[in-house]
Structure 1
Amino acid sequence: MMNNIEITKNTYCVGKIDDTKVPFHRLILEKGTTYNSYLLNTEKPTLIDTVDISYGMEFVKHLQEIMDLEKLQYVVINHVEPDHAGALGALMNKAKNATIVTTELGKKFLIGMFKLQNRNFHVIKDGETLDIGGKTLQFFETPFLHTEETMVTYSVEDKILFPCDIFSTHIANYELFNDLAKEDITEDFKVYYKLIMHPHRPYVRDMINKIRNLDINIICPSHGYVLRENAKKYIDIYDEMSKVELSTDKKALVLFSSMTGNTSKIAQGLKEGLVEMGIETNVVNIKNADLNSILEMAKEASAIMIGSSTKYGDMIGSIEDVVKEIVKLDLSGKFGAAFGSYGWSGEAVEIINDYLKNSSLTLLDTSYMIKATGDDHIKLPLRVNFTPEEQTKEICIETGIAIGEILIKN
């Protein structure tokens, strides 16, 4: 374990260095990594994040050597993946009086992972503060960086940002601080961003906007180096790399047929999300379009989304004729998804999905999205009951963003 390295007064890094070749998200981290956990030894002792589940018992034993865990008041969990929250179960067996601080969704996940339903939770509200006796913590929700429940923690008096996975590097090191690194870490920092954060860049933009007015002197991420020299440089890198520019090589085609305009609204929501990811997107109502023009657009598109309302258990208008012609094309290397609104059963969406499944394109369904993004909140094919209301409008946009992520990755 790390030997209680002091970052600033009463703030210590107590994490774990893993200098092996680490399996990570279907990759191998050739340079290893660190699992940084931070102890704020204040009047109300507080731990920010833990370590990988593999080192849970070792981590708890180490903490017991430096403090009485029954005096631990708060455990802040910014992100519930097992490389950060993995030691929580073992820790809470010893930290009988500690309250877990996390988001609403984080609480749900942690209870499911560690059976902590009988423990005290403090569910944060975006921007709220918590007095831990000598230091003030402020919390900001940063969803999808890189999972839905994520938040960041800011130590107001010390001007330290604890962003968990954000601003990390995968490098096993014993120096901890970036100004002591034996080589320039900038490229490793950028590679980490590209692998983990870039597909979620609209959410990176949201995060940047939330922390923009904070006075940040030090960034204490959960992997790799603590950025105590020129922290602004690394924020600026995220800011610059997350700016959305219109993609020159990725295009999407959204085709639909609608009875009352509801499926049209879904199509527009998908477009909004795709454009937010920088994907050039054509939305076409097949009622007003020439078949040859549609086929040409389909040949150029990287992703084809087809939607229909349901009437008498079937698609409407001439959309089926268009679908039959599209699936005759060589769609290798392209992605496809079905969507639509419905009143009772929504068969049209499933029929379109079957056509796409039997074509040469890669079908985007719920199973594919979970494996590609790690999130299960995107459900494909996309089916919306009656009129898209505020919540379902947001789902349509988020689905467009998620499909845009797939296109960027591929």
Structure 2
Amino acid sequence: MKNNLLLKDNIYWIGKIDDRKVPFHRLILEKGTTYNSYLLKTEKPTIIDTVDIMYSREFVENLKEHINLEDLKYIVINHVEPDHAGALPALLNKAPNATIVTNAKAQELLNGMFKFYDKNYLIIKDGDSLDIGGKTLKFLETPYLHTEETMITYALEDKILFPCDIFSSHIATYDLFNDLSKDDIDEDFKVYYKLIMSPHRNYVKDMIGKIKNLEIEIIAPSHGFILRKNVEKYIKLYDNMSDIPTENLSKKALILYNSMTGNTGKIGGNISEGLRDSNIDTTVLNLKSLSFEEIKEKVIESDLILIGSSTKYGDMIGNTEEILKEIIKLDLSDKYLAAFGSYGWSGEAIEIINDYLKNSNGKVFDTSYIIKVTSDNSIKLPLRVRFYNDNEGKKLSIKTGRILGELLLK
């Protein structure tokens, strides 16, 4: 291998530089990108991530020049998208003795994508470590940065963080290392954060908390420059960019609900908790004894309005429909809307509320919108919680609030 591909003792970059104008997430990467893969030539040779699926054959052929693929022991998959795990089938075809190291969610996705049911897996959990023969890898789960299964890998002795998409930049650089670049890379770094990571601001903060006690000398991400100069600067940039901008602190949300047994009210309270995590000023009102005139002012001053109801005999309860009919007569063109509720059988009330909202001139948050903006398909809108409980139902509702808060800020 060329010396300029060496990160540290026996750790090599083995990726692919893609200097085309690359289609990516409905964008065109005008500066291209790199697919960064890494080989750790230890007693138990290990690869961390692969390259885009279209370069599978080239990737495997290149590897053959540097290692007997039958000796490959581990392949760490931090993230399952095809630009990271795409070459895995071709690699495993030539490396039959290798074990895939990843988490349970990623295993489920890999099996679904590639039918890897007969492959060897080592399933890790947050905080687990693995001895690869002279080096130790530590794994941290970082969900939604930017997909649910994402994790990061830390080489303990070498003080190298392999954070997958985190700390990446989209640029086809032949310099590879940021200290070799003649240009200022900060703008590309910030643009990548804005496009990929900003919808997951709260999860960035969680990640920063997990890595703050690690000694990090090099950050080796999956795209763009490997950071071996001013590492702390780039971690601080992520931390600062994940702060809630002060101009957004005036955003307001209104949660209106009717509840039979209290469960829909609990969901509304949980959503408000998630919204407040994003510093959204949130008001929760029980519709049971309120008239439209009492809530009209709150509706007008709010940026996000959520309306929820329990379901009784296939319909909304109490004065929910009466209030809804008046709300959708207002000018809601500058507001976002969403429906929620608990149910035991089929939950028609939640869908009826959603139909009303779609007939307004407001912008309705739904599952399609969330997936396109955040790549998160773990929550559905309208939010329908069957037989609410204080474990899963609560977690789902808080998470929904957090995501709605991020969408509102975005």
Compute the TM-score of the two structures, normalised by the length of structure 2: 0.96
Percent identity between the aligned chains? 64
Name the structure 1 match of 2:399: 398
Q: Secondary structure at the match of 2:65?
A: helix
How far off its partner does 1:3 sit? Answer: 8.5
Preserved CA contact (<8 Å) 1:2 1:17? no
Question: For the residues of structure 2 that align with 1:287 and 1:81, how far apart are their CA atoms?
Answer: 47
> Is the alpha carbon distance of 1:192 and 1:258 closer, same or farther for their aligned partners in structure 2, counting shifts above 3 Å?
same
Name the structure 2 match of 1:387: 388
Q: Does 1:207 align with 2:238?
A: no
Name the structure 2 match of 1:22: 22
How far off its partner does 1:346 sit? Answer: 1.6
Unaligned runs of 5+ in 2: none
Q: Name whichever of 363-372 and 32-41 sits farther off.
A: 363-372
Name the structure 1 match of 2:10: 10
Compute the TM-score of the two structures, normalised by the length of structure 1: 0.96
Preserved CA contact (<8 Å) 1:56 1:90? yes
Preserved CA contact (<8 Å) 1:273 1:399? yes
Deviating above 4 A after TM superposition, structure 1's stretches of 4 or more consecutive aligned residues are: 1-4
Q: Secondary structure at the match of 2:342?
A: strand
Deviations 1:137-186 (A, max 9, x none): 00000000000000000000000000000011111111111111111111
User: Which amino acid in 2 is paired with 1:32?
Assistant: G
Preserved CA contact (<8 Å) 2:304 2:336? yes
How far off its partner does 1:293 sit? Answer: 4.2
Name the structure 1 match of 2:107: 107
Question: For the residues of structure 2 that align with 1:164 and 1:299, how far apart are their CA atoms?
Answer: 43
Q: Name whichever of 395-404 and 94-103 sits farther off.
A: 395-404
> Is the alpha carbon distance of 1:26 and 1:278 closer, same or farther for their aligned partners in structure 2, counting shifts above 3 Å?
farther
User: Which amino acid in 2 is paired with 1:124?
Assistant: I
Preserved CA contact (<8 Å) 2:199 2:373? no
Question: For the residues of structure 1 that align with 2:369 and 2:389, how far apart are their CA atoms?
Answer: 24
Residues 145-184 of structure 1: matches in 2 within 5 Å? 145-184=145-184
User: Which amino acid in 1 is paired with 2:20?
Assistant: T
Q: Secondary structure at the match of 2:58?
A: helix
How far off its partner does 1:372 sit? Answer: 2.5
How far off its partner does 1:4 sit? Answer: 7.3
Q: Secondary structure at the match of 2:376?
A: coil
Name the structure 2 match of 1:296: 297
Name the structure 2 match of 1:94: 94
Name the structure 2 match of 1:33: 33
Preserved CA contact (<8 Å) 1:173 1:224? yes
Q: Secondary structure at the match of 2:220?
A: strand
Question: For the residues of structure 2 that align with 1:99 and 1:401, how far apart are their CA atoms?
Answer: 36
Q: Secondary structure at the match of 1:392?
A: helix
Question: For the residues of structure 2 that align with 1:187 and 1:278, how far apart are their CA atoms?
Answer: 27
Preserved CA contact (<8 Å) 1:2 1:14? no
Q: State the Cα RMSD in Å.
A: 1.7
Q: Secondary structure at the match of 1:171?
A: coil
Q: Secondary structure at the match of 1:196?
A: helix
Residues 11-410 of structure 1: matches in 2 within 5 Å? 11-244=11-244, 247-409=248-410
Q: Secondary structure at the match of 1:17?
A: strand
Deviations 1:107-157 (A, max 9, x none): 010111111110000111111110000100000000000000000000000
Question: For the residues of structure 1 that align with 2:235 and 2:2, how far apart are their CA atoms?
Answer: 26
User: Which amino acid in 2 is paired with 1:276?
Assistant: D
How far off its partner does 1:202 sit? Answer: 1.0
Aligned length: 409
Unaligned runs of 5+ in 1: none
Question: For the residues of structure 2 that align with 1:381 and 1:20, how far apart are their CA atoms?
Answer: 40
How far off its partner does 1:15 sit? Answer: 0.4
Deviations 1:94-117 (A, max 9, x none): 110000001100001011111111
Question: For the residues of structure 2 that align with 1:234 and 1:152, how far apart are their CA atoms?
Answer: 16
Preserved CA contact (<8 Å) 1:365 1:379? yes
Preserved CA contact (<8 Å) 2:32 2:170? yes
How far off its partner does 1:210 sit? Answer: 0.7
Preserved CA contact (<8 Å) 1:245 1:278? no
How far off its partner does 1:86 sit? Answer: 0.8
User: Which amino acid in 2 is paired with 1:361?
Assistant: G
Preserved CA contact (<8 Å) 2:340 2:350? yes
